[in-house]
A and B are shown apart, each in its own frame.
Chain A
Amino acid sequence: MIELKCDVMVIGAGHAGMAAALFAAQRGLSVVQAGTTGGIDFGSGFIDVLGVHPVAEKRELDEPWQGVASLRAESSEHPYARLNRDDITDGINAFTDFLTAQGLAFQGNEGRNLRLPTPAGTTKRTYLAPATMAPGATALREKAPCLIVSFDGLKGFSGRQLTETLGKNWPALRSAIITFPGLDGELYPEHMANALADPARRKALAETVRPHLGDARYAGFPAMLGVLDCAEVTRHMEELLGVTVFEIPTLPPPIMGVRLRAAFDRGLHGLGVRTLSQKTVMTARPSPDGFRFRAGGAREEYAISARAAVLATGRFFGKGIRQQTHDMRETVFDLPVARPADPDDWYDDVFFSQNGHPADRCGVLFDDDFRPLNDDGTPFHHRLHAAGAILSGHDWIREKSGTGLAVGTAWKAVNTLAKSLGEAG
């Protein structure tokens, strides 16, 4: 058993947990963080703030802040109702500044949403996109001559699918299937990205692509152009091809997961965060002046005493909330979960139902400082805060608010927590 002491225990290694660990460490607090796979490993890397509102009307937003404002006015339950715009933008700026320093730059559209192609051939609104993906928005908007490159062996990414679905309104979109130089059989973005660390491989790739370029001014690739060297790989490909190069997210496992993990591993370590990767918190014991946790996994076990904690364990996929045949339970502290009383009301008969599923709004209730509440409405613990998908009252999947909400709530949670620890001295 390894004993650890810290100011803040961050439970969760998704976007909310990573952001909380970062923000706490930047404020000079000592941080221990535990968690395994989360949304980071499966997502696109897009930072959504709000893409659709109202959900039931399927209204896609070009102006996310207008949407946030009406959401705030309409629903006092929504986490955004307890955040002001600065909380969200300050949090996102701190988050992206950190990632930029690690090599992962982001780009937006001056406070408006970008509209980007997805691998299904649909388009998606997002607030900020990885800089390697953002030019896709310009290509799409201008309907510029563009070649989509897909690779034999990379499943789930078909250039023809994009031209068939987007091509109706974008006639200058074309596609080609090529073989990735030096790799055969089944391809994974991570292997391809690693291979492209070698400039010679980029040249070989450019040679394979060039005959298909024609009059294209843009070339869209499945996201695999490098890991933390993605800015350089993309720049080099542009130089070799003489066109603007952009990436399109792929189906899981996406390269952005690998990039974000690598960036956080390196950057949080540099800030002194003690990450217990692939470890989960198994027991939690609150006391008046803090918490005692047990964390473990494959090998070592840890006993951690912390003065404060951030619960960022996600919803169902993250494992923060577990559905049972008749109930839902919060998995670390057994906090009450806000949910419709009758389990028959948790899900709609139609998977793509335009209202979404009531289960996706379940979670822990919280106060203005994002502290989870007991059944009687009092905070469960004065120094326990929650952030991200585990909060009740939002449907990030349908609203397209995942990462923005995770980062914004983590920002506010850490701010109030830092204040209360500061006051305690």
Chain B
Amino acid sequence: MERKTHASERPDHRRRRHRHRAGKRSRPTRRLLLLLEKRDLNAGASGANHGLLHSGGRYVSGDAEAAIECREEGDILKRLAPQCIEETAGLFVAVDGDDETFAADFPGNCKRCGIPCKELDPARARELEPYLSERTFAAYEVQDGSIDPFMLALDNVAHAVSLGAKTMRNARVRSFDIEKGRIRRVHVTDETENREFIVEPELVVNAAGAWAGEIATMAGAQVGVICSKGTLLVTQDRLSTRVINRLRKPSDGDILVPGGTVSVLGTTSVRVPSPEDATPTREECVRQVEDAAKMMPVLASTRYIRAYAGIRPLISLGGSDDRNVSRGFSLVNHDHEGIDNFITISGGKLTTYRLMAEKAADLVCEKLGENTPCRTREEPLPASVSGRWTEPGLAPRNFAAETGRTDVMLCECELISRSVIEEITRNLENMRGRSALNAIGMRSRMGKGPCQGAFCGPRVTSYLYDREVLSGTRGIEELKSFIQRRWKGQKPIMWGRTAEQVELQEALHCALLELELTGEDE
């Protein structure tokens, strides 16, 4: 594909850029905020995490500061973004064989961090959560919650856009031009159109998560990022009302987080060389299932729907076990490295994302000479339309309530009707990116149920052809790419019913539709 020259792109972006009027302290200057994302929202750790709104309990024994941060931020988010959070509460449970001293110290450690914690009789805990092992010997209740990271991201971006920000997906930052200690130009590839463009920034915030090291290098700066992969498994059914934590020194497969109609088990912590290595492995899955079954025996026999993995950026402090590397966040002002208009914010947790953003925004303001205070500590996060369909169970409720017989259920696992897909497609516009199917998958629960796209994939594809969103053979390519993404999550859990389902899918997609025979070499 032919690339347009930079020059032809530049004037356009100049016009969009805002002039910096320094020194105008009384009224905040209107500036353009541009969010560049190389793939789609939540393409990184924010879309591949455990969804646990930490009470702080997990950190009380090892990292009191992180524990307190979680408690404070958890309280703020429950107040300001309630649409994204289910206040499930959480249990910490120890079973025979777990370290008794560790368990006994837990309530005291919680108290020291101001984290509410109630001791429960093991029998009572098993009444509340019947799948807990009979061999539970200690149980404490805390205020964990479950957070929908997709809705959270969509609502945040929608809010930012309503305040004048612009977002670009499939826009990959390639390099910086640095002159006189400042980033003058950011070279970006628009991967939807396959062309290059340039942004001339006043200031660049590097919030690239596990890729923060790469971006820093482009600016000639340094951020020591260690990539730690975590693998998680999604069950077909929700197995508990509360978050269930193993009460022991943090290890793999400790936590089961309920979200809507499913539960998520995780996670591992494996060093990987690159942020692109987010592939869950069979070994990680089997090991976690076998270990966690000691806490909840049902985990050995329940049906898993898929696995996924995310990469935590751990900011390097030396040492060998990645759990000991700080999970706190790092905010770096790179002026000490001779670059004036560049900062990095990375590490941390979803639970503390708001605090990270606040600190980063404060530093941005300071550097730009603004003194407007950050308001996210008080102002609610408005619920957006785009975030509506990510919540498990919402589409079914809507289907029952609003539509009559005339609607068609395209996704039977997650009960997503034609009208929901229609609404998402209508709002997709330029956010479609390279694959409408993947973009819809990100904005709804399509393909996330037991069939993992086997049936809804081809059905939604057909619908998108009817709607003229797809043409030529593009729909077949998108379908294959969508299915491949789902496969990455099924391959590590090919036992029991997953294997049955996948064979049915392969029979349909290959024996009948012969999708594997399509492609360039045809």
Contact = CB atoms under 8 A, between A and B. Distances in A.
Interface stretch (A39-47, A75-83, A86-94, A205-213): A39-47
Contacts of B476: 120-122, 165
Contacts of B501: 317
Contacts of B508: 42, 251-252
A287 interface: no
B515 interface: yes
Interface in B17-45: none
A381 B290 CA distance: 36
A162 to B, nearest CB: 9
A346 B494 contact: yes
Which label, helix, strand, loop or mixed, suits the secondary structure of the B interface? helix
B494 A323 contact: yes
Contacts of A353: 516
Interface stretch (B112-120, B207-215, B463-471): B463-471
Contact of A58 (B404, B466, B517): B517
B500 A317 contact: yes
Contacts of B514: 118, 122-124, 400
Interface residues of B, number: 58
A348 B499 CA distance: 13
B473 interface: yes
Contacts of B471: 164
A347 B408 contact: no
Nearest to A354: B516
A343 B480 CA distance: 25
Given A160-B465, A164-B473, A359-B494, A42 B516 contact: no
Interface string A240-266: 000000000101100000000000000
A163 to B, nearest CB: 9
B293 to A, nearest CB: 11
Given A155-B459, A251-B455, A343-B282, A122 B465 contact: no
A358 to B, nearest CB: 12
B496 A323 contact: yes
Nearest to A349: B491
B16 interface: no
A281 to B, nearest CB: 17
Contacts of B483: 351-352
Contact of A60 (B468, B488, B517): B517
A57 to B, nearest CB: 10
B503 A120 contact: no
Given A43-B512, A165-B473, A398-B510, 15 more contacts: A118-B512, A119-B462, A155-B408, A155-B463, A156-B459, A165-B472, A185-B408, A251-B458, A251-B508, A344-B283, A347-B491, A352-B516, A360-B503, A397-B503, A400-B511
A249 B503 CA distance: 19
A119 B509 CA distance: 11
B374 interface: no
Contact of B517 (A39, A43, A122, A346): A122
Contacts of A164: 465, 470-473, 475
A360 B494 CA distance: 12
Interface string A152-163: 010111101100
B504 interface: yes
B513 interface: yes
Interface string B437-473: 0000000000000000001001101110110101111
A58 B499 CA distance: 24
Contacts of A349: 488, 491
B89 interface: no
Contacts of B480: 352
Most B C-beta atoms less than 10 A away, residue of A52, A319, A397, A402: A397
A123 to B, nearest CB: 7
Contacts of B365: none
A32 to B, nearest CB: 25
B487 A351 contact: yes
Interface string A21-49: 00000000000000000010011101010
A158 B500 contact: no
A177 B466 contact: yes
Given A165-B472, A359-B499, A249 B512 contact: yes
B179 to A, nearest CB: 44
B69 interface: no
17 contacts: A46-B512, A119-B513, A120-B476, A120-B515, A155-B462, A161-B466, A164-B471, A165-B472, A185-B408, A251-B459, A317-B504, A323-B494, A326-B286, A343-B282, A350-B484, A352-B480, A397-B506
Q: Residue among A42, A44, A349, A352 with the most chain B CB within 10 A?
A: A352
Contacts of B510: 352, 397-398
B427 interface: no
B317 to A, nearest CB: 34
Contact of B499 (A118, A316, A402): A316
A184 interface: yes
* Residues of A in contact with B, size category: 35 or more
B518 interface: yes
A361 interface: no
A396 interface: yes
Pairs A-B, 3 closest by C-beta atoms? A351-B487, A185-B405, A158-B462
A347 B475 CA distance: 26
Contacts of B495: 323-325
Contacts, number: 163
Nearest to B403: A185
Interface string B323-355: 000000000000000000000000000000000
B96 interface: no
A40 to B, nearest CB: 12
B123 interface: no
A351 B458 CA distance: 15
B423 interface: no
A323 B463 contact: no
Nearest to B404: A185
Contacts of B462: 119, 155-158, 161
B203 interface: no
Nearest to A154: B408
Interface in B394-431: 404-410, 418
Contacts of A153: 406, 408
Nearest to A124: B514
A186 interface: yes
A315 interface: yes
B289 interface: yes
Interface string A130-164: 00000000000000000000100101111011001
Contact of A39 (B459, B468, B473, B507): B507
A182 to B, nearest CB: 14
B491 to A, nearest CB: 5
A85 interface: no
A322 interface: yes
Contact of A317 (B289, B407, B507, B509): B507
A158 B494 contact: no
A177 B418 CA distance: 16
B512 A352 contact: no
Contacts of A122: 476, 513-515, 517-518
A158 B511 contact: no
Contacts of B507: 39, 42-43, 317, 397, 402
Nearest to A153: B408
Contacts of A120: 458, 461, 476, 479, 513, 515
Interface string A389-415: 000000011101010000000000000
Nearest to A58: B517
Nearest to A187: B408
A359 B283 CA distance: 17
B504 A119 contact: no
Interface string A351-390: 1111001011000000000000000000000000000000
Contacts of B518: 122
A254 to B, nearest CB: 9
A323 B502 CA distance: 12
Given A155-B463, A352-B480, A324 B516 contact: no
